[in-house]
Structure 1
Amino acid sequence: MFPLRSARSLLAACRPSTSLFAHAAHPVAPPAVLGSARFRSQLAPKRTKYIKRQKGVVPIPIGGSIKGTTLAFGDWGIRIKENGRRLSAKQLSSAEEAIKRKIKPIKGAKVWMRVFPHLPVCIKGNETRMGKGKGAFEFWATRVAPGRVIFEIGGVPIREEIAREALRLACDKLPTIMEFISRDTPPRLGSLVLPREQFESMNIVPMRAP
């Protein structure tokens, strides 16, 4: 006859091994970003070096750079017309969904997002005493300079009326004043739009995809 074994010993025998060599067969899932799961459709960086960041300020192109103010991939787009703002991942996702919903009947149409929310925003509760460290993580955001292109659409020929309506729906989701641009729109230097004559005399070629 087999010796009688207690229920605790039987449970221990069925439990998987917890040795250092047993982890090779059971890989450990990577830690979630800032304590929350990141899904494929979510606008969030895959990994960050620091969990919390300082608030910072919106960049202003005081050096005369016009990078990112013209179209690079599509035929139509929108860019910021007033002062720079901080856009959250939720706002960018809502604007992108509005554009995709409008141009869905057009086969081959694509949407390009020229910015990405990579900055963690931390918020403390209302009526909280000063001190006690920084607030908890709330959402992802990005700081965009004035004149920066936010969205582009193209891939296939799209009529201007449809492009304007699709990008107008996206502008309604963003907390700033945007302007509709095309391939022929000159670059913007902050709040100043460079005239076509001055733009051509500077021998500056807008950044465009090959």
Structure 2
Amino acid sequence: MASSSRPALTSTPFSPNQLGAVRHKGNLAPRRTKYRKAHKITIPFNTGGSTKGTTVQEGAYGIRLLAPARLSAKQLVAAETALKRKLKVVKGAQVFLRVFPDIPVCIKGNETRMGKGKGTFEYWACRANMGKVIFEIGGPVEIRPEVAKEALRLASAKLPVPTEFVTTASKPRIGNKIVESVDDASSAVAGAPGSTAEAVATATTVASA
């Protein structure tokens, strides 16, 4: 005789409502995630040759991170609210959010003994590498540079990391270095310490001597 008290061994998609949170239209939270909780990792420092996400794509102006950070949904909402409030006078201006908080952050209480599993869900966040463009503004209307710079300055004040003002003419960034062209990016990666190109150049110099 089958028991009705035994739970079914089927995995159901995770929903924010299971954590006691209700997702409204203005809230930044995923509708569904694969796992309930996530590991807390160190945000990697991007030193490779990829410049993806470091330039303005949708709008005309934007802000770019100068340090890796974990941004919470509350911080992103506060920055977006300050940005839209400043751009309210510009009819037709649009705001583009290039990141989305889909990482569940769990927190345990202070002075809690070790063990007994991971803490409970606290808020949603996203991991952003150094050089990532967070916000962009643009649209069918032309926004004056001084207005855009002041609006993005108010938005960056809500973020916990330093940022820089970028435009469509700004060069991509790899870590701490501004890339002037594609050739410079490849040469920067090839000329890294311990690379094969440097070893070959050193061997050629020794042989000629």
Shift of 1:168: 0.3
- Letter of the 2:156 counterpart: C
TM alignment of 1:1-210, pairs within 5 A? 32-81=17-66, 83-155=67-139, 156-195=141-180, 199=181, 201=183
> Normalised by the size of structure 1, how large is the TM-score?
0.77
C-alpha separation in 2, matches of 1:153 and 1:31: 29
Write out per-residue CA displacement over residues 34-60 of structure 1, whole angstroms, 9 at most, x where no aligned residue. 221111110000011211111122133
C-alpha separation in 1, matches of 2:97 and 2:28: 11
**3-state DSSP of counterpart to 2:152:** helix
Equivalent residue for 1:27?
A: none
Query: In 2 relative to 1, CA 159–202 (structure 1 residues): closer, same or farther, beyond 3 Å?
Result: same
Structure 1 stretches of 5 or more lacking a match?
A: 1-29, 205-210
C-alpha separation in 2, matches of 1:165 and 1:171: 10
C-alpha separation in 1, matches of 2:87 and 2:62: 13
**3-state DSSP of counterpart to 1:91:** helix
Higher-Rg structure is 1
> Normalised by the size of structure 2, how large is the TM-score?
0.78
Write out per-residue CA displacement over residues 67-125 of structure 1, whole angstroms, 9 at most, x where no aligned residue. 000000100000012x2011000000000000000001111100001000000000000
Query: In 2 relative to 1, CA 164–47 (structure 1 residues): closer, same or farther, beyond 3 Å?
Result: same
